[in-house]
Amino acid sequence: MKKIGIGSAIIAGVLLVGAVVWLVLSGKLVIIWNGAAVQYSAASNVCGDDVVTAYNSATEYSYRGGLDDGPMIDTEGLTAVVDTVRSRAGYEADPTCQVIIFWGAIQRSDASAAQSALDALHSLHDQRIFPDNNLRTAIPLFEYETAISGLSVTEGASEDQ
């Protein structure tokens, strides 16, 4: 009888922990730790699953041309996703949208547009509003700085030649 009670308690505990984890991952429960909470706003839903899926598909390296071309991203698809993002109201305040705009600008070698998107991302990050982790390019912000500086070096090198 005692073993059944212990087994039931363990099963109940596992189910409770599983439910809490599911609630946190689904965004229905926010845990506040030392007064710092992640904020969710209506603007953070401008670039939802449909845009994230389209972006991930466009940025996946695969054989898109001939086999001699090697794997590449779908630049036309990425441009279409960026155009979709820019056509939606409120994209400026959505960090997921800003990540997509940033990497689209990097692909086009547009350092100015990339820097604008990065500035918006820093501002949103300071407010503890973060992009969707399902984006294929979910990396720390300092890596974004590296991508922009790579453009600046490339641009400077091409001007010298």
Which stretches of the chain drop beneath a pLDDT of 50?
A: 39-43, 156-161
Q: Is 0.85 topped by the overall pTM?
A: no
Q: What per-residue confidence (pLDDT) applies to 159? A: 42
First CA to last CA distance, the chain: 84
Count the Cβ atoms, other than its own, within 10 Å of residue 156.
9
Domain edges within the chain: 1-37, 38-160
Question: CA 78 → CA 5, 36, 119, 120, 145, distances in Å?
Answer: 56, 35, 21, 20, 21
Question: Which pLDDT value is given to residue 105?
Answer: 94
d(CA 80, CA 27): 29
pLDDT at residue 81 in the model: 95
For 116-128, how does the pLDDT look when each residue is reduced to its tens digit (9 = 90+)?
999 999 999 998 8
Let me know: does 118 contact 102? Beta carbons within 8 Å. Answer: yes
Q: What six digits make up the tokens of 127?
A: 């407010």
